[in-house]
Structure 1
Amino acid sequence: MVKTDKELTAEIVSAYVPSWNISDGTKPMDHNELMQLINDVHSALQKLKD
């Protein structure tokens, strides 16, 4: 079964965020950073179709 861009975005972001939050020297990701990450990942996946 083929996953949608939204499903892939959710999987990628949900795998990335925990590693971001435990990295040494980084502050927790805030709401605006999370929204930007979601938009960037989704946009990148859409560009792969072209």
Structure 2
Amino acid sequence: MPTLRAHAVRSTAFGEFEAVMIENCGHVPHVEQPDIVLKRSTDFLKRLAV
């Protein structure tokens, strides 16, 4: 479930947006869970390219 901060970003963002909560992850997801971040980012960008 996206946090209140994610909802605040969504309300001001332009274009596509996806909020993701990663288990066992703090404030530095690209360092703490790099494989998950890379996979989710890649999947998101692929969807945009369609």
Q: One fold, TM greater than 0.5?
A: no
TM-score by length of 1: 0.43
Greater helix percent: which structure? 1
**Larger RCO: Structure 1 or Structure 2 (Cα < 8 Å, ≥ 6 residues apart)?**
1
